[in-house]
Each structure stands twice: as C-alpha cells, then as structure tokens.
Structure 1
Amino acid sequence: MTRAAYSPIPTTETPDIAESVPQWTSLQKLGFRLLFTVGGGMLAVTGGVVLLVTVFGSVVGFDEGHYPCERLLWLLAQIGSYVARGRSVEITRSAGGDMLWMWCFQLGWIVVALPITALWTVMDRRRPNYRSMAASLLVFARFGLALVMIFYGWGKVIPVQMGYMPLPEHQLQLTGDTSLFNTLWGFVGASEAYSVAIGLIELLSGLLLLWNRTWVLGAVGAVISTAQVFLLNLTYDVPVKLVAAQLFLVAVAITCPYWPNLARVVFNRGGTRPVELWSPLWADNRWLRRAGVVAKFGIAALLLVITGVGGVMAYIGYHTPSSTLDGVWRATSFTIDGREATLNQADPQPWVNVAITDRNKVPKLGVVRFVSQEPAGYTTRWLLTIDGDRLELRKPDSDITQVVLRATQPDQDRLVLTGELDGKQIKGIYERRFMERSKSHFRLVSPPIPMDSVR
C-alpha cells in the first residue's frame, strides 16, 4: 500500500453550536415572556372563554344556568377588581360586553401573568431564544382569530346577527329616540345583501387563516374587517369594544413578519424579500403535525356546522309569522271607559299604534313581543304570551302579568283589542299598517329626489 492510502481524509470544521444558535438579549427574552404570558394567556383564557360564552349563549342560551367557566371568570374578575377598586365585582349576565366585571377580568389576568413571567425568568434564564415558542404563539393566534372570524362572518352570511331588527317590534321607535347602537344594528339589518357581503369578507378571511398558503391573505382581510368593526363599535357605542380591539390587535400582530416588506412597498425602498417563518414547537414530529391539522379543521368544521344550523333555524324563526296577529297596527278608534280617547288623554294614554311580533315557529328561538305607542311617539315594550285570543302583557323586568287583552280579528288586516289598562276599560280598533320600507328595493335607475329633501 502506498502512503497516500493512510492519509487522513480532509474534513470541514464543525462550527461551534453555541455560535450557530441566535442569542437573544435579556431584554428581548423578558419582553417575549411578557408577551407570551399576557398576550398568549389572553388569547387562550380571554379569547377562548369569550368565544365559548358567545357560542354557548347563541346555541344554548342564558335563560337558565350560568356562564361556562364562570368560576374562572369570577376569580380573575375579583383579582382585577380588588387591584383597581379595592372591592369585589358582581358577575352579571348580558347580551353585550364591556361591563365592569369584564374589564376587571382582563386586569385580573394581567396581574396573574406578571408573577408567572417573573417565575419563568428565574427558572429559564439560560435559554438562548424563544423562536419556536414565538412561532407557536403565531400559529395559535391565527387559529383563534380564524374561529372568531368564522363565527361572526357566518352570523352575517346567514343574516341573523342583526336580522331581528326588521321585526315588527322594532318598527315603531322614532329615529330621534333610537340609540346609536340600534341605529347601526338597524342599518345593517335593513339590507340582507349588505349583511351577506360584509359577512363573506369575515368568513373568507377566517377560512383563509386556516391554510398555511393563504393565511397572510386571510390576515389582511381580518385586519380590514376588525378595524371596521372596532371603529363602528367605538363610534356607535356598541358594547363589544374590548373584544373588537383585541381582535384587531391580534390581526395586526400576526402580520408583523411582513411589515418590513410592506414598508418597502409603501415607501418604494427596493424590492421585497422572501419571509421565512420560524418553525413552531414539535414541527419535526409528523404525528403531532397531523393531529394538529385534524384538530384545527375538525374544530373549524364543528363551529361551522353548529353556528350554521343555529343560524338557519334562527333565520327561519325570524321570517315565519306564527299568526295573523303579527305585524304593525294603526288605530282607527280607541276608547277608554266607552269614550273616545283624545290626544292629550292621560291615565292611560291611548295606543295610537301597536306592533306585535309573533314568530314562535322554532322552539327556543321564538320572538314574541308587544310594543305600544303613545300619541307623543313614546313606545313601551312588553313581553307577550299568546293563549288563543288572550294576550298577556308584562314588562321585561317583571314576572307578573300587568295587562290582559282579548284580541279578535274580523279579517287578517283588522284587529280589535279589548281589556283593562290602568284600571280602565279600553277598546282599540286597528288596521294593519304596511311600512314604507317594504316598498324599498334595489334600483339601477332611481326616480327624481326633491332637492330640498336632503337638507
């Protein structure tokens, strides 16, 4: 053998592992720990509970029982309340948000997250970086945002979120007496086509967020949608400002890897560069990846089915009158103790218009209400129980029947109400009133509009 056979094979130098791993500064690591515990915790605790509460309230209802996870809600709310106010706060049920206990709940989680961050800092000081955890946080934020966008988008594509506004009970309120919240809800609810259009943007954004190839496009759609929702909620006093703001922040935050490219395009500073996202935790485990994909699409599909079925049932209920009593009625005669009522009549005042909503075809999703209107335009909302020709009216905050009326109909467009109101016998003869809005429809060619009507 020649000497060359025994020559050592040249090898490349193996770089020092410590030098190849990116090192984050102590401040960067502390900042991420705070982001992960506060932001990630709010995503998991706040976002999860809010979504669960919303779905629970929409599908199951809050007529009986409590909020899901109410003990956790209560504990965090008390922590936040004692820090901010020095006393406890009551958990109250509401169809909206932004209540005091919800703000305290948010503060309570921040208070809990701070010692968690401190303990984490003490126990994990030597880790070089948190790239994998940051990538995992982005993935979970995408998924959480996708679920919320799907939920609210589906509620507009099947126009039920604001779909109750065209019901008879909402038709007598004077414009000047209508709150900003109801003005916005009525504006969207008045046009199913518009509701479907904005719902499609939200729904498609949520669906696009589920796929790795399309999630950036979905995130852009979510930024636009949540920005609009937050602005509307803020300016029209819709009591969901807190959640809307959080959704907007999540939508903006998950796009942060692409901000440099966006800045280059906006300021024309050179070409864009490919973005390589960090790998999340356990990305190399094929079985965990597959399980995550199955769970992701399984939960999204379940949400679509549950809210879709509930939405269709609610839509059917809203648009299916249960009797000919349903509608808006105009008084042609109203007598009190046998004498014709006058416009300045008091104790009781005559009901010049009434609206009856009798949409009770779908169990648990029925709407049965009675609204009376006085000559001055003020309206009174009553809960209604219909038993044949007997109408039982009670105030929303009362469990006791306050007015009992007997309803007869000579034909489907006429109604006679008799009974006792404020200790006096009343009789109202009504004819069905067809609202002017029912004549409105889409037109490419519009009739002339008087010039002074827009001043």
Structure 2
Amino acid sequence: MQDVTAIQWPLWRSVIFRFTAIYLGFYLSFLQWMGNLPVVSTFTELYNEIEKLLVEWGNRTIFHVKDVLIPMGGSGDTSYGYAQLCFFALVSILGTLVWSLFDRRKNYDKAYYWLMVILRYYIAMIAFTYGFIKVFGFQMSFPTLTQLATPLGDFLPMRFSWLFIGYSTPYQFFSGAAEVLVGVLLLYRRTAVLGAFLAAGVFLNVAVLNLCYDIPVKLFSIHMFVFSNILLLADAKRLLNFFVLNKPAPSSPSFTLPEKWMRIGRIVLKTAFVAIFAVVPFYSMYQSLHQVNVVSPANKPITTGMFEVVSFEASGRMNEDSLRWKDIVFENYNGGSILTTDTLFRQRYNRAYFAYVTDSLKQNISFKKRSGDSLSLFTLQYSMPDTNQLLLKGKIKNDSLKVVLKRRRRNFQLAERQFHWLSEDNR
C-alpha cells in the first residue's frame, strides 16, 4: 500500500484520532454483533461477562448512575446503557493518554483510512438491518382493533409515534428505502460521501424522533448520527470548499491495493458483506411477508372483531366492579384485549392484553398472558350461536364465570386509510 501523504498531523488531531479509534473499538466490537456465529459465540459470552463486571465496578466506584443497573433488553437507554457509555468514554480517555505518551509517529493516515472503512461498513450494516424491516412494514404495524379502541390519551408517546408511522405503509416504506439507500451508497468509495450525507439526515431524524417521543433507543440513534458526521469529517475541507467557499474540491485521497490477492480479497469480502447483511435480510423479510397473519386451522381465532359484554355473571373476586369485563376484542391473530383492570392479564394502556388458543373439538379457549407462555391462565368453554354472539363460561381459579358477548359494529375512520388530493376544509 502507498501512503497518501507524509504530512505530520498536529497534536490535537492525533489525540482526537486516538480517542475515536479506542471508543469505536469498543462500540463496534464484532463480538457485539456477530455473537450468534457458532465459534464467535463462545468468545462473545466471555467478552460480555468481562465487560459487565468492569461496567458494574466502574458504576459502583466512579459513575454512580444507579445503585442497581438494569440490563439492556427492549430498551437501549437503561441505567446499564448509560454506565456502559461512561465506561467506554473513561477507558478511551485513559487509553488516549497512554497512547499519546508512548507513540511518536507523524501521522495516522493509513489507520485513519481503514478506521473510516470499518465505520462506513458498520453504518451500512445498521442501515440495511433497520431499512429492510421498514421496507416490508415489520417495524411499525398498522393499529390493531384494540389500539383503535383505546382512547388516544391512554397511549404513551412511544406507542403513539409507532402508530403514527405504522398507520401509513407508504411512509414507512419511504423511510426504510432511505435507510437501504444509505447502505448501498456507503458500500462504494465513489458514493461514500453522498451516503454519509444521507445517513446524517436519516439518523438525525431518527434521533430527534426518539428524543421527542421518549423512544428508548436514544443513545444508539445519537451514536449513529455522530458516526455519520465522523465519516463526513474525513472530507470536511473538500466539502467546505465546494459548498461554502466556492473553491475547487480535489478528489478524495485513497489507498491503492497493489497486490492482486488484495484486490480479489476486497471483492470477496464486499460480496460476503452484501450477502450477509443485505441479500439474506431481504430474502428473510420477503419470506416473512407471506407468513404474516397466517393462522393454522387448529389455532384459528373464534372470530375477529369487537364484542360488548351483554351479560356478566361471576362469583368471588371476579364480581368486583373494577374486574368485570366491559368489552373484549379478538384480533386477526391469536390475541386480543379486555376492558378490565384485572392484573391477572397483561395490563397496557388501561386494557388487559391476552393471547389465546382454541380447541374446536373440546369447544374451549385457553387464555394466556403472552403467546409464548406454555401455561394458560385459565380455560373457558365457548359456543357461538351465530357469528355475532359468543358465550363463554367456566372458572377463573376458584371463581365461576359466564359471559354473553355480542359483536359491536364499530367503524373506525382511522382504519379506512383515507386520502384526498382535494381537501376543501381542514379535516
């Protein structure tokens, strides 16, 4: 490989590079996002355990984010996430000090170039991952009957934003296509700057959305926005000349690969990257598209719709006013919700969510808290005199229950997906 330049870097630039390289080394660790591979998974578990011990030690002795750290799961903004951020920053600062004391090289042109290549492909990987999910409409779903029947004021900001995006399939496709385009542009050096520009805009929008609607991916989305701008900083002088100073912008410097095996290796690695992080996810999403809402005959819901409770006869705790069922929704999948405060179910947005499995031979329906649960909360006998009536009876624990339900013809304007080119008034 040939050096692009032999110009000595100023001290401040060398220090910033060292800090950035160490921080990205922790944040972009391949053990974090390739942990499912058979061989790598063993090292991933060990790496994660060591990191967990160090983060918790740092939190106890230095950071004090929270006495007991909550691990990251559905949320990336947990106390552990913030303690991990502090740990990465602290180690990067200390590593930069040590590196600066012992390293006296003039510049880091080669290392900087390859670090930007790694960062470029990491952003492309994330863009493909989230982009394809949106393109196929899997990240945000159209509001269910339960959600349509829930008062707007009962939703948390995150769920409100999810429904806002999920309502419009074209808008979600558009946002996903923009992310996929980011991934494609970042794969090639000629279009990398344009890809970084688009990435900065896309991830800025995501970060602001997360901040304004309290979506728990704030740290991650802010990182992606910052990383996109780090890519742009590599061409800051050229961009300043072109967009602001109206001066000629020379071509971006790059390293050549003199050996044939290196050039072949680059093609092989790029092809493997595209196959793993673009082709495979696309095909997987395409296959899943044909399986959405497909319910096997044995587990087919009784009937889809919203039912109001005509009669509710119960004994024991079920007879309390707060626990009595007011209405029940059966979705077009094996789940639904009940208007009740009963904590036996999964309470969300002032409704009780459930999953269920029916047995048409025994004429019973088993209610579960979640679809993945192996044990049922209770099982009731059911009968359907017609498609508009449903009778449930049985026991919930030691309390007897008999419920008569009648289909409620409820039309939601939001579900009609209305669109008008010509609007004569403010709708």
Q: Answer whether TM exceeds 0.5 for this pair.
A: yes
Give the drift of 1:265.
5.2
Percent identity at matched positions?
22
Return the alpha-carbon distance in structure 2 between the equivalents of residues 217 and 86 of structure 1.
38
Checking the alignment, whether the CA contact within 8 Å between 1:372 and 1:380 is kept in structure 2 is: yes
Partner of 1:153: 131
Partner of 1:110: 89
My pick for the range that moved more, 168-177 or 405-414, is 405-414
Give the drift of 1:195.
0.8
Partner of 2:353: 381
Checking the alignment, whether the CA contact within 8 Å between 2:354 and 2:369 is kept in structure 1 is: yes
Residue by residue over 1:151-198, the C-alpha shift from the partner in whole angstroms, topping out at 9 and shown as x without a partner, is: 1110111110112x5344433322110011001111111111111111
Give the drift of 1:413.
4.6
Checking the alignment, whether the CA contact within 8 Å between 1:407 and 1:415 is kept in structure 2 is: yes
My pick for the range that moved more, 312-321 or 379-388, is 312-321
Checking the alignment, whether the CA contact within 8 Å between 1:80 and 1:109 is kept in structure 2 is: no
Please list, as runs of the form range in 1=range in 2, the aligned pairs for 1:61-76 lying within 5 A after superposition.
70-76=48-54
Q: What secondary structure is seen at the aligned counterpart in 1 of 2:391?
A: strand
Give the drift of 1:218.
1.4
1:351 to 314, 319, 325: 325
1:41 aligned onto 2:25: yes
1:120 aligned onto 2:104: no
Residue by residue over 1:257-296, the C-alpha shift from the partner in whole angstroms, topping out at 9 and shown as x without a partner, is: 43344444554x33331233243xx844442343133213
Partner of 1:415: 390
Please list, as runs of the form range in 1=range in 2, the aligned pairs for 1:126-145 lying within 5 A after superposition.
127-145=105-123
1:81 to 54, 59, 67: 59
Partner of 1:335: 312
Give the drift of 1:105.
1.9
Q: What secondary structure is seen at the aligned counterpart in 1 of 2:190?
A: coil
Give the drift of 1:249.
0.5
1:258 aligned onto 2:235: yes
Flag the structure with larger Rg. Answer: 1
Q: How many residues align?
A: 398
Return the alpha-carbon distance in structure 2 between the equivalents of residues 183 and 258 of structure 1.
39
1:405 to 359, 370, 380: 380
TM-score by length of 2: 0.81
TM-score by length of 1: 0.76
Q: What secondary structure is seen at the aligned counterpart in 2 of 1:111?
A: helix
Partner of 1:297: 271
Return the alpha-carbon distance in structure 1 between the equivalents of residues 45 and 280 of structure 2.
18
Checking the alignment, whether the CA contact within 8 Å between 1:205 and 1:218 is kept in structure 2 is: yes
Return the alpha-carbon distance in structure 1 between the equivalents of residues 328 and 46 of structure 2.
38
Return the alpha-carbon distance in structure 1 between the equivalents of residues 94 and 350 of structure 2.
54
Residue by residue over 1:102-128, the C-alpha shift from the partner in whole angstroms, topping out at 9 and shown as x without a partner, is: 222222233333443344334422x11
1:236 to 213, 218, 239: 213
Change (3 A) 1:24 1:70: closer
Q: What secondary structure is seen at the aligned counterpart in 2 of 1:214?
A: helix
Please list, as runs of the form range in 1=range in 2, the aligned pairs for 1:352-371 lying within 5 A after superposition.
352-357=326-331, 359=333, 368-371=334-337
Checking the alignment, whether the CA contact within 8 Å between 1:169 and 1:369 is kept in structure 2 is: no
Partner of 2:16: 31
| RMSD after superposition | 3.3
Return the alpha-carbon distance in structure 1 between the equivalents of residues 168 and 65 of structure 2.
47
Return the alpha-carbon distance in structure 2 between the equivalents of residues 220 and 195 of structure 1.
21
Return the alpha-carbon distance in structure 1 between the equivalents of residues 422 and 364 of structure 2.
48
Letter in 2 for 1:105: Q
Checking the alignment, whether the CA contact within 8 Å between 1:76 and 1:109 is kept in structure 2 is: no
Partner of 1:166: 143
Give the drift of 1:399.
7.6
Q: Which runs of 5+ in 1 are unaligned?
A: 1-19, 57-65, 360-367
Letter in 2 for 1:352: K
1:276 to 252, 259, 263: 252
Give the drift of 1:147.
0.6
Give the drift of 1:429.
1.6
Give the drift of 1:240.
0.4
Partner of 2:41: none
Residue by residue over 1:275-319, the C-alpha shift from the partner in whole angstroms, topping out at 9 and shown as x without a partner, is: 33243xx84444234313321331232122432344234434433
Letter in 1 for 2:230: A
Give the drift of 1:372.
0.3
Return the alpha-carbon distance in structure 2 between the equivalents of residues 276 and 292 of structure 1.
19
My pick for the range that moved more, 138-147 or 168-177, is 168-177
Checking the alignment, whether the CA contact within 8 Å between 1:78 and 1:88 is kept in structure 2 is: no
Letter in 1 for 2:21: F
Give the drift of 1:351.
2.6
Change (3 A) 1:21 1:438: closer
